[in-house]
Amino acid sequence: MDCGDPGFRADSRFMTIVRWLCLSGLILNAQAAVPDNLVAEGIPEIPATLRADASRYLEFRAASFQDWHPQERALLVATRFADVSQLHLVAQPGGMRKQLTFLPEPVRSGSFQPRIGECLVFEQDTGGGEFYQLYRYDLADGRITLLTDGRSRNTGPLWSPSGRWIAYTSTRRNGRDNDLYLQDPAQPASSRLVREMAGGGWSVADWSPDENQLLVLEYLSINESHLHLVELASGNSRRLTSDTPDKVAYAKARFALDARSIVVSTDLNSEFLQLAQLDPISGQIQPLTRHLPWDVEDFEVSPDGKRVAFVTNEDGSSVLRFYDLNRRREFKSPKLPASVIGGLKWHPAGREIGFTLSAAQSPGDTYSLEVKTGRLHRWTESESGGLNPAAFVEPHLIRFPSFDGRTVSAFVYHPDPAKFPGPRPVLVSIHGGPESQARPVFQARNNYYLNELGVAVVYPSRWSRLSERPAARSGTSWPGTKGMASPKNATPITSSSP
């Protein structure tokens, strides 16, 4: 963003704030110095009172859903109360968060032992080095036990249905390839190599219901991946997906209850990631959501194997949907606010599904939905620097034609017209590309623009040369801002995230 653009007109206080945010994303203490590798020219000194006022817009936390307790209606979340994220247990919607881990490094993920729930397994690295180690946490006494060698990179631990084993990938053999390992977490020395793999793109997708096979995903690129079936007893592997003239992506895969079919999300013969069923014997794939012109971003098969909960990305917003595998059709889906959701996981009883939701008024919290009644439960309410989340602006979606004849969507955030009447400055945030996308997530520090400065923010959902077109330049009106924005008070900013 060029804060000195002559087409950008605003008062000096606004210019001071914008330059400061562009420089460092907020300097939070009076002694902070400009980094040695950054040249700052013409940046006015930031008053301490202004720094304190704006710093509230950075003091927020999120609580991401990790897992359901196998025997209770309670769940595991990851959130921070100090400097790094740790695991917490929440016993009921809106209940107190009981911290379980108190470690100096952030905890990456956690999952309960199925059926019994006496322990959980989590991942953690040191100093951001991404050489993740696996640990067992015993709920009875809080004891933590290292399960891996402390040196290699170990990722994606997945419990067997009985809760006896975990399968995961590790570079233990040569420090390079992601081999498949099996382990009884109650006995750390039991870890054994199941199969040597070539490359680093391997992950465990699912266990077969009889625990004799692993469904394994081989990731080559965002456009190409394959599915394999690995026999645990012999280590033999069989590729389930065939070569095609065009590259095909498989984003996720889960066994159906009887293992006679596999539910996948794939872009085979489609512009979008679709929900589909794969026959592991014949290799035939039957699309289930061909009628939806949107990517399926996440899904989970219910414990009884009859239903699939899945999320579609519709113009940037997440839509939670359900599919009946027996009747071969969707059934009624709930209406959720404009948001981004992920981390789907069914409660073992099969009546409720949990997920993480990020929206304009929530920095990322854990929710669950009762499938039969459509009742939504909020389990956590993460703090937002003492600010009232209800005051954060909800976006509205607009669509307009692009220079190439395509329809472009954008999220528009309007400042409160009662507080900021008349034409207002507009920031047009052009996200990184080509795979990135503007989405209606929590706006964090950008809420300062809206709530304190009265600046409208527009997020085009496609980047296709928008920064090169007149509509993205200063001094040009943008759709959705008519009657609010002065054409001389619009300027683009280019970034990879809000």
DSSP per-residue string spanning 62-112:
--EEEEE-SSSS-EEEEE-SSSS-EEEEE-STT--EEE----SS-EEEEEE
In the predicted model, is pLDDT for residue 150 greater than 90? yes
Can you give the pLDDT at residue 488? 55
What mean pLDDT is reported for the chain? 87
| Burial of residue 127, with CB atoms counted within 10 A of its CB: 0-12 exposed, 13-18 middle, 19 or more buried | exposed
Residue of higher predicted confidence among 83 and 14: 83
- Amino acid letter, 470: P
In residues, how long is the chain? 498
Distance CA 365, CA 361 (A): 10
In the predicted model, is pLDDT for residue 307 greater than 70? yes
| The two structure tokens encoding residue 187 | 């006995």
| The two structure tokens encoding residue 271 | 């512009």
| The two structure tokens encoding residue 459 | 């997020």
Nearest to 197, CA basis, from 233, 159, 171 = 171
Please name the residue that has the structure tokens 């996200």.
Answer: 431
Can you give the pLDDT at residue 3? 36
Q: Which residues, at least 6 apart from 243, have a Cβ–Cβ distance to it below 8 Å?
A: none
| The two structure tokens encoding residue 312 | 């579609």
Tens digit of pLDDT for each residue in 367-423?
999 999 999 999 999 988 889 999 999 999 998 888 888 888 899 999 999 999 999
pLDDT-derived band of residue 27, with 50, 70 and 90 as boundaries? very low
Burial call 183-198: b when 16+ CB within 10 Å, e when fewer: bebbebeebeebbebe
3-state helix, strand, coil in the chain (%, to 5): 10, 40, 55
Most confidently modeled range among 193-197, 253-257, 328-332, 446-450:
193-197
Running DSSP on this structure, what letter comes out for residue 114?
T
| The two structure tokens encoding residue 21 | 């945010």
In the predicted model, is pLDDT for residue 318 greater than 80? yes
pLDDT-derived band of residue 198, with 50, 70 and 90 as boundaries? very high
Can you give the pLDDT at residue 312? 97
Running DSSP on this structure, what letter comes out for residue 393?
P
Q: What integer is the mean pLDDT of 462-485?
A: 47
Q: Which residues, at least 6 apart from 193, have a Cβ–Cβ distance to it below 8 Å?
A: 172, 173, 179, 180, 181
Lowest-pLDDT range, 152-166, 256-270, 419-433? Answer: 419-433
| The two structure tokens encoding residue 54 | 């704006």
In the predicted model, is pLDDT for residue 474 greater than 60? no
In the predicted model, is pLDDT for residue 463 greater than 60? no
In the predicted model, is pLDDT for residue 173 greater than 80? yes
Lowest-pLDDT range, 47-51, 117-121, 196-200, 492-496? Answer: 492-496
| The two structure tokens encoding residue 74 | 């309670």
Please name the residue that has the structure tokens 């959501």.
Answer: 289
Can you give the pLDDT at residue 400? 85
In the predicted model, is pLDDT for residue 476 greater than 50? no
CB 133 within 8 A of CB 123: yes
In the predicted model, is pLDDT for residue 6 greater than 80? no
Tens digit of pLDDT for each residue in 67-77?
999 999 999 99
Q: What integer is the mean pLDDT of 198-214?
A: 96
Can you give the pLDDT at residue 123? 98
pLDDT-derived band of residue 480, with 50, 70 and 90 as boundaries? low
Return the biggest CA–CA distance within the chain: 72
Tens digit of pLDDT for each residue in 283-298?
999 999 999 999 999 9
| Burial of residue 421, with CB atoms counted within 10 A of its CB: 0-12 exposed, 13-18 middle, 19 or more buried | exposed
pLDDT-derived band of residue 30, with 50, 70 and 90 as boundaries? very low
